[in-house]
Amino acid sequence: MLVAMILIRPGEPGYDEARRVWNGMVDRRPRLIARCATDADVAAAVRLARERDLELGVRCGGHNAVGFAVPEDGLMIDLRGMDGVSVDREWSTARVGGGALLGALDAATQPYGLATTAGNVSHTGVGGLTLGGGMGWLARAHGLACDNVLSYRVVTADGTVVTASRDEHPDLFWGLRGGGGNFGVVTEFEFRLHPVGTRALSAEYTFDPSADVLRAWRDISRSAPRQATFDASFRDGDTLVVGFVWVGDPDAGRALTSELNALGTPRSAVVRELSYLDLQTRDDTVQKHAIRRYSAGHYLPELTDAAIDAFLTVEDGFVPNQGLQAYGGAIADVPDDDAAFGFRGTEFEYGAGMSWTDPAEDPDRIADARRTAAHLAPHAAGVYVNMLADEGAAGVRRAYPPAKLARLTALKDVYDPDNVFHLNQNIRPTSRPDYANSTPASSTGP
């Protein structure tokens, strides 16, 4: 196979742009950056890293909070040249390159009124989101992103290119659906698409902090149609925002607003129709690049009254923004043993996040997020693997129940026994149980 990858070294044009990722805390310097355009390029880059004993990182959208894509003095595979999206309207499927962003997927499918679950921020990479599971506004109606993958094309640790589906390498197909980047570099995804139309409805009601309001909002969410995803946030310790997002005919979603109107007298109420594409990009500015970030989270099997009280707890000092997003629906329909993704019985996902610009604040802001998330820990069971930061092996044990972690470890033994792909939320093979660290070595960044 013809290899045409471009190797970029420190100081060369494009080097600094390629190594910059979403989290401004990450400032590492790979020895080599391999810009890849084909499967053969990726396979050659994997072999090169192994021959030179270089740590290997894989860049798609660069949204991982720890910056696993950027290995200090290692080799970074840059997949952004493999960003094509092709739609088969007749079969309602899309083939998506491993370096594509969610916005490209949405832009290609929406002219036909089609979409698949694709996160909430358009500049997120399809690869990282999907390999960790892939939550989004369509998940309650149509399943997680990983539930909609029909096949993966993968470059494995020995440079072999394989296809994983229910019929080919079904064990690998199982592991890629939630097991992260532990088993290879995915160069193409084939997705199932759904006829969702092009319109959406967003409802946001702002209140003073109130456990009664949040409990009533929770109760409404429990009986809401699957097209609705209820979400809430607690901002700056003094502002509670509750509401939902509805994908589809906005008039059909407006029935839920009458129930929210009964919650009390809000500071403000904003109910607006928007296109699905606008919905998918509305948080892009808030989640822009180059800001320093840290977050911590949990899965809540039930949003109990006690959990709500913990959510609204405020301590002195900086207060992270906290959020809740409803699960259930099609997410819970999938049998638990069907994929590596776990905790499908989750009622809400919880997150606490901080963003700032001054590097001197790093230790305090990280501590703030951890401390705030700890309030919900007694009510939690598990965590979304894409929410994990620098928790290491302890975080991985939270993300996967013991039986799934054992199965993932056995899969790792088959496809990556030397742990070549360890810059991730690492599933350690039995041959390397004491691997030193899954975080890229660096004095800068999380």
pLDDT in tens, 88-142: 999 999 999 999 999 999 999 999 999 999 999 999 999 999 999 999 999 999 9
Q: What is the pLDDT of residue 433?
A: 65
Q: To the nearest whole percent, how much of the chain has pLDDT over 70?
A: 96
Among residues 16, 22, 285, 24, the alpha carbon closest in space to that of 128 is found at 22
Q: What is the pLDDT of residue 102?
A: 98
pLDDT digits (tens, 9 = 90+) for 313-364: 988 767 899 999 999 999 999 999 999 999 999 999 999 999 999 999 999 9
pLDDT at 213 over 70: yes
pTM for this predicted structure: 0.95
pLDDT digits (tens, 9 = 90+) for 190-212: 999 999 999 999 999 999 999 99
Q: What is the pLDDT of residue 43?
A: 98
Among residues 304, 287, 106, 78, the alpha carbon closest in space to that of 196 is found at 106
- 359 phi and psi angles, rounded to 5 deg: -60, -25
Cα–Cα dist 369/386, whole Å: 16
Q: What is the pLDDT of residue 446?
A: 63
Cβ contact 94:190 at 8 Å: yes
As annotated, the residues of the chain forming the CATH 3.30.43.10 domain(s) are 6-78
- State both tokens at 249: 């005919």
Burial environment of residue 315 by CB neighbours within 10 A (0 to 12, 13 to 18, 19 or more) = exposed
Of the pLDDT bands very low, low, confident and very high (cuts 50, 70, 90), residue 287 is confident
- State both tokens at 230: 């209820």
Strands (E), 123-250: 149-155, 161-165, 185-192, 194-195, 199-207, 228-235, 239-247
pLDDT at 440 over 80: no
Q: What is the pLDDT of residue 1?
A: 60
Q: What is the mean pLDDT of residues 236-256?
A: 96
As annotated, the residues of the chain forming the CATH 3.40.462.20 domain(s) are 199-393
**CATH 2.40.50.140 corresponds to the domain 85-195:** no
Question: If you search the block for the tokens 């319109």, which residue do you land on?
Answer: 199
pLDDT at 438 over 80: no
In sequence order, the 6+-apart residues with CB closer than 8 A to the CB of 302 are 347, 379
Cα–Cα dist 413/89, whole Å: 39
As annotated, the residues of the chain forming the CATH 3.30.465.10 domain(s) are 85-195
Q: What is the pLDDT of residue 363?
A: 95
Q: What is the pLDDT of residue 439?
A: 56
In sequence order, the 6+-apart residues with CB closer than 8 A to the CB of 35 are 5, 6, 7, 8, 14, 18, 41, 78, 80, 81
Q: 115-131 burial string, b = 16+ CB within 10 Å, else e?
A: bbbbbbbbbbbbbbbbb
Average pLDDT, the chain: 95
Q: Which long-range contacts (CB under 8 A, 24 or more apart) does 317-320 make?
A: 317/364, 317/368, 318/354, 318/364, 318/365, 318/368, 319/236, 319/237, 319/368, 319/372, 320/295, 320/352, 320/353, 320/354, 320/368, 320/369, 320/372, 320/373
In angstroms, the Cα distances linking 374 to 41, 235, 304 are 44, 17, 16
Question: If you search the block for the tokens 């901002």, which residue do you land on?
Answer: 235
Q: What is the pLDDT of residue 445?
A: 56
- State both tokens at 135: 């939550």
In angstroms, the Cα distances linking 427 to 10, 43, 398 are 31, 21, 12
Cα–Cα dist 66/62, whole Å: 10
Q: What is the pLDDT of residue 444?
A: 47
In sequence order, the 6+-apart residues with CB closer than 8 A to the CB of 304 are 379
Cα–Cα dist 109/92, whole Å: 9
Q: To the nearest whole percent, how much of the chain has pLDDT over 90?
A: 93
In sequence order, the 6+-apart residues with CB closer than 8 A to the CB of 191 are 93, 94, 95, 96, 105, 116, 145, 148, 149, 150
pLDDT digits (tens, 9 = 90+) for 129-165: 999 999 999 999 999 999 999 999 999 999 999 999 9
Q: What is the pLDDT of residue 437?
A: 47
Cβ contact 417:39 at 8 Å: no
Q: Which fold has domain 6-78?
A: 3.30.43
Q: What is the pLDDT of residue 3?
A: 74
Q: What is the mean pLDDT of residues 240-259?
A: 96
Of the pLDDT bands very low, low, confident and very high (cuts 50, 70, 90), residue 72 is very high
Of the pLDDT bands very low, low, confident and very high (cuts 50, 70, 90), residue 42 is very high
Class of domain 199-393: alpha beta
Q: How many CA atoms lie within 13 A of 331 on its CB side?
A: 28
pLDDT at 28 over 90: yes
pLDDT at 380 over 50: yes
Q: What is the DSSP string of 279-337?
A: HHHTTTTTT-TTBEEEEEEEEESS--HHHHHHHT---SS---EEEEEE--THHHHS-GG
Beta bridge partners of 203: 244, 271
Cα–Cα dist 436/426, whole Å: 11
Q: In 30-101, where does DSSP find H-type helix? A: 39-51
Q: What is the pLDDT of residue 138?
A: 98
Q: What is the pLDDT of residue 234?
A: 98
Question: If you search the block for the tokens 């296109």, which residue do you land on?
Answer: 275
Cα–Cα dist 366/349, whole Å: 20
